[in-house]
Amino acid sequence: MSKAAVLTLAVLLALVLAASAPLVRAQPGIATDPHVAAMLAQVDPAALYQAVGDLSGEWPATIGGEPYTIRTRHTTSSEGLLKATQYAGERLEALGLEVEYHTWEVGTPPNVIGELPGAGGAEEALILCGHLDDLPDGPVAPGADDNASGSAAVLAAAAILSEYTWTCDLRFALWTGEEQGLLGSRAYAVRAYNSGDQILGVVNLDMIAYNSATFPAPAMDLHADSTLPETVDLAHLFDGVVDAYGLALEPEVLVDDTLRTRSDSWAFVEQDYPAILAIEDFDDFSPYYHKVTDRLSTLDLAYYAEFVRAAIATVAHAGCFPRGGLMGHVYDASTEASIAGAAVTLEDSLGITYAVSSDGTGSYTLEAMAGVYTATVSSPGYLPGMLGGVVVPTDTIGIQDLALTPVGPLDWRIYLPFVGH
């Protein structure tokens, strides 16, 4: 391998390891990834609409195989909230997650946490969460925006993110007792701290679906606390993925605003865990807040779906995405001469691709999600080639040289496999 190739390997390895580090500092731009883009494309506004309607009592939800209308999720209205926790737990269990019903007070409906274990016995975790309980007190409390929207978003994200393997544990948490003073989340955060849990970051979704038609922009707020620089980094990461993936949102990062203490993320900041509150814009706050009129019909579904996409992208880019790289040399199988400008593409079983061209020396390097791919290579004057079973390892660089066969004057062949080594 040439000295230049060695330098390229070192630089790429540094980039890969930086990409895998937890909660990297905000950068001028975030490189998009086709796997993350595919995740965002899976967000279904109709499914979000259904889940919010289920949780806010617009129609009977299926719970335990039977219809039940959740008319209130107030913490002291134990039956309604208990049914809501069962609804959430059943859906997390159906995804194959390890579900914990965390009782923080006897006789009170529990927190619900679904965990997707990370690869290789990971000891660190990322949490995506929202509170499940609502207000006002009384027999009817729909709480569509506050916070069936955040709860349904957590369930939707779990369904998408659980299709992938991650290098840390992903936890999808729904808290109870938030409206009474962050009771459920605080009990969980204290337990996590006392047991030495390594929580890399917490993204808390609270009221994420109201956007009035008269407001000039799809604005939203990201609340962070300056005492933990990683918290500010996480807020800027959320802001950055919105820009990188072209989402129709206008985030504002607010540091040390008083609102940051009024939702479940604060319970984690109190234990020195990086946590942010993602919420609709305070200047366009829902007028139905804590009222019986907080109904599904008041929500902006397009805005809501973009908010969910941003949350998923934030989790995906927050440090547990299993990344690696591949590098090698493209050359003429007959003369062993380097081939510049050859198109190299990796495609996985989902049809997701990464592509790059070889440089002037015939070398190529690329970053990709760790996994197994089919590589294809092409260049004018050569037969196209294909090689299956190409492995991109996690947090390191795979080496794969690729040889192309020149097209002969009477060559009827349109494909030959690589000579690879």
Provide the angle, in degrees to the nearest 10, between the axes of the packed helices 301-317 and 229-244: 120
pTM of the model: 0.89
Asked whether residue 415 carries a pLDDT value surpassing 60, the answer given is no
pLDDT one-digit tens code per residue, 333-347: 999 999 999 999 999
Beta strands 111-116 and 169-175 are antiparallel
Q: Establish how many alpha carbons lie within 13 A of residue 135's alpha carbon, considering only the half-sphere containing its beta carbon.
A: 11
Report the alpha-carbon distance of residue 115 to residue 156 in Å, rounded.
14
pLDDT at position 292 is 98
Bridge partners for 173 per DSSP: 113, 129
Task: Please state the separation of Cα 408 from the chain's center in Å.
Answer: 49
Q: Provide, rounded to the nearest whole percent, the portion of the chain with pLDDT above 70.
A: 90
User: Residue 20: which of 317, 228, 234, 229 has the closest Cα?
Assistant: 317
Two tokens, residue 75? 């913490």
What's the CATH class of domain 3-12+322-420? Answer: mainly beta
Tokens of 373: 């791919």
Alpha-helix runs per DSSP H in 26-134: 34-41, 45-55, 78-94
Give the start-to-end residue ranges of the domains of the chain.
Answer: 3-12+322-420, 24-317
**Three-class SS state of 420:** strand
Query: To the nearest whole number, what is the mean pLDDT of the chain?
Result: 91
- Quick count: other Cβ atoms within 10 Å of Cβ 414? 8
pLDDT of residue 120: 75
For the purposes of burial, counting CB atoms within 10 Å of the CB of 283, is it exposed (0-12), middle (13-18) or buried (19 or more)? Answer: exposed
pLDDT of amino acid 314: 98
Contact 224, 231 (CB under 8 A): yes
| Each residue's pLDDT tens digit, 386-395 | 999 999 998 8
pLDDT digits (tens, 9 = 90+) for 230-258: 999 999 999 999 999 999 999 999 999 98
Residue of 177 and 25 predicted with greater confidence: 177
The domain over range 24-317 is classified in CATH as 3.30.420.40: no
When pLDDT is averaged across residues 36-42 and rounded to a whole number, the result is: 97
**How far is C-alpha 335 from the chain's CA centre?**
47
The Cα 387–Cα 382 span in angstroms is 15
- Residue with the bigger pLDDT between 319 and 238: it is 238
Asked whether the bond before 136 is cis by omega within 30 degrees of 0, the reply is: yes
**Residue 18: what pLDDT?**
40
Tell me what percent of the residues of the chain surpass a pLDDT of 90.
84
Q: Report residue 104's pLDDT band, with 50, 70 and 90 as the boundaries.
A: very high
pLDDT of residue 9: 35
CA angle 308, 264, 26 (to 5 degrees): 60
Cα gap 39→45, rounded to integer Å = 14
C-alpha to C-alpha distance for 33 and 36, rounded to whole angstroms? 5
Taking only the tens place, the pLDDT of each residue in 201-224 is 999 999 999 999 888 789 999 999
**pLDDT tens digits, one per residue of 264-297:** 999 999 999 999 999 999 999 999 999 999 999 9
Looking at per-residue pLDDT, the higher value among 159 and 394 belongs to: 159
Cβ atoms within 10 Å of 89's Cβ, excluding its own: 20
pLDDT computed for residue 1 by the predictor: 28
Which pLDDT value is given to residue 63?
98
Q: For residues 17 and 32, what is the distance between their CA atoms, to the nearest angstrom?
A: 16
- Mapped onto helix, strand or coil, the DSSP state of residue 363 is strand
If pLDDT is split at 50, 70 and 90, which confidence band does 411 have? Answer: low
Question: In whole angstroms, what is the distance from residue 68 CA to residue 341 CA?
Answer: 62
Phi, psi at residue 357, to the nearest 5°? -110, 145
pLDDT at residue number 410: 57
Cα–Cα distance for residue pair 143/15, rounded to 1 Å: 44
407 C-beta neighbours (distance < 10 Å), count: 14
